[in-house]
Amino acid sequence: MSKNLLREDHLFKQVYDYVLTHIERHEWKEHEKLPSVRKLAEEMNVHRLTVLKAYQLLKKHKKVYVKDKSGYFVQPDLAGEHIENEDHPIINAYAQKNHLSEIHQASVSYDFSHALIDPNLLPNQYLSHYVKKVFDLYPKVLATYSTVQGDVELRETLASYFISQYKSQVHADDLLLTSGSQQAIHMIAQAFIKPRDTVLFERPSYSSAIDVFKNQGAKIKTVDIHPDGYDLLQIEDLMKTYKPRLFYLNPTFHNPTGYTVPAHQRKRLVELAEQYRCLLIEDDAYHDIYFDQTPPPPIYTYDASGTVIYIRSFCKYISPGLRIGAVLCQSALMKTLITVKSLVDNGSPLLNQKIFLHYFSSLRLQEHLKKIRIALQIRKEIMEKELAAANWNWVSPKGGLNLWVKLPEDISTEKLLMKSLDHSISFVPGQVCDPLKESSSMIRLSYSYANEKQLSIGLEKFIHLAKSM
């Protein structure tokens, strides 16, 4: 290859990457017009043909499209769309996205993007005692597979817990153990959704769940969530019009807003779901993290007909590293989920289930939860104090790990994220939590991962950064 050709190749790649980066960072929005070939060629000091070639390759890769010969436009992000990369014939994967995971790849000093609990707040010492106990009790635990559905001792223990908490009839056979609630969400999508099925989501919602269902090819309709819950007429209208197969919801200390759906709405929602044959997927990730009073009982406790699949994440505030979640549902749905579990990984590791079992059955659990609620409430209050000084707006949540904060309208949250990451601060822009991916002035700030000092220093820096924009 001649030197000239090499240089041209290099410039071509530069233009291609420049445009792609703008699109992928959503700095250039869906259906927005790209700069004209002439303009970009001038700006980047390259030949017009180089820009044209880059635009054409981007078109082939379905990143841009052409309209009425009036120019190139940003192609909307088509989940599940087949990308034939003709230049790299082997790399013809189907598009898969996980927006949250991309933000989390950055390692920062002031981490307000992870809705995880600071490892220093977790009962590490005690857990390592339980590990030794597990090996004494089950010397061949590492040589043994768990059943696909999960260890029966742990399922029985969790069933007793549900019965004692909610007086509802729960049997060990109604429970399936998963590798964290992420796996539960993915398995449900895999079992019940095919491309073009309609799915309801709260708006905003948990970003990784949105991505799971979008990658599965679901069409998404949204239900607004407010500080006092849903507009049930809106839900009925959506169920009637679109006949969604399921509604993924997070009604208790909702992620990202922190809102909680009141008991009377829970009851009515189950009736609607039954009437319109829509499964309710209740993701109860933050149930045990309340500050003043316990939340209303889960929606599944109102369900007599098997309309609800309940996902409970117990491990998050005990030992996230164990990766244990539980799914509770009626037997016909359970049968399908067990088969899916056998296909996706053939059962979670037994060791982890046994460690969790012994900690969960101990008296330490309730003590630990009491402590962690206090610690998190303190962290929340530190965050709120800093935000109050900045005059930003949010609804103070009664539990959970996040604040959902409204920034002044003139701040671009995407630009702020780029700038913040440069200053070793992370947060989640509201757009990532929006099933419709519209830009907004909302952001999610998690107060659970950073410690008290990091919270006050980091937030001060962060507010300063935002105000300087």
Site for a second copy in 236-255 (CB under 8 A): 245
Sign of torsion over alpha carbons 14, 19, 21, 27: positive
Q: Considering the rule CB under 8 A, would residue 79 count as an interface residue with a second copy?
A: no
Q: Considering the rule CB under 8 A, would residue 182 count as an interface residue with a second copy?
A: yes
User: How many other CB atoms are there within 10 angstroms of residue 240's CB atom?
Assistant: 11
Instruction: Enumerate residues 305-324 that contact a second copy by CB under 8 A.
Output: 305-307, 319-323
**Smallest Cα–Cα separation from 282: which of 322, 240, 325?**
325
User: How many other CB atoms are there within 10 angstroms of residue 82's CB atom?
Assistant: 10
Tell me the closest approach of the beta carbon of residue 145 to a second copy, in angstroms.
6
Q: Considering the rule CB under 8 A, would residue 291 count as an interface residue with a second copy?
A: no
Cα–Cα distance for residue pair 404/104, rounded to 1 Å:
18
Specify whether the CB–CB gap between 262 and 252 falls below 8 A: no
* Site map (CB under 8 A) of a second copy, residues 388-427, x = contact: ----------------------------------------
Tell me the closest approach of the beta carbon of residue 119 to a second copy, in angstroms.
4
Can the peptide bond before residue 256 be classed as cis, meaning omega within 30 degrees of 0?
yes
Binding piece for a second copy, criterion CB under 8 A, among 2-10, 19-27, 209-217, 384-392? 209-217
Residues in a beta bridge with 445: 403
Cα–Cα distance for residue pair 73/67, rounded to 1 Å:
7
Cα–Cα distance for residue pair 252/262, rounded to 1 Å:
9
Q: Which is nearer to a second copy, 109 or 342 (CB)?
A: 342
Q: What are phi and psi of 424, to 5 degrees?
A: 65, 35
Binding-site member from 139, 363, 391, 409 for a second copy (CB under 8 A) = 139
Cα–Cα distance for residue pair 387/455, rounded to 1 Å:
11
Residues in a beta bridge with 325: 178, 313
Binding-site member from 12, 28, 72, 192 for a second copy (CB under 8 A) = 192
Q: Considering the rule CB under 8 A, would residue 349 count as an interface residue with a second copy?
A: yes
Binding-site member from 80, 271, 457, 463 for a second copy (CB under 8 A) = 80
Q: Which is nearer to a second copy, 225 or 337 (CB)?
A: 337
Q: Which is nearer to a second copy, 70 or 90 (CB)?
A: 90
Q: Considering the rule CB under 8 A, would residue 132 count as an interface residue with a second copy?
A: yes
Binding piece for a second copy, criterion CB under 8 A, among 30-38, 60-68, 344-352, 395-403? 344-352
Q: Considering the rule CB under 8 A, would residue 128 count as an interface residue with a second copy?
A: yes
Instruction: Enumerate residues 148-167 that contact a second copy by CB under 8 A.
Output: 148
User: How many other CB atoms are there within 10 angstroms of residue 62's CB atom?
Assistant: 17
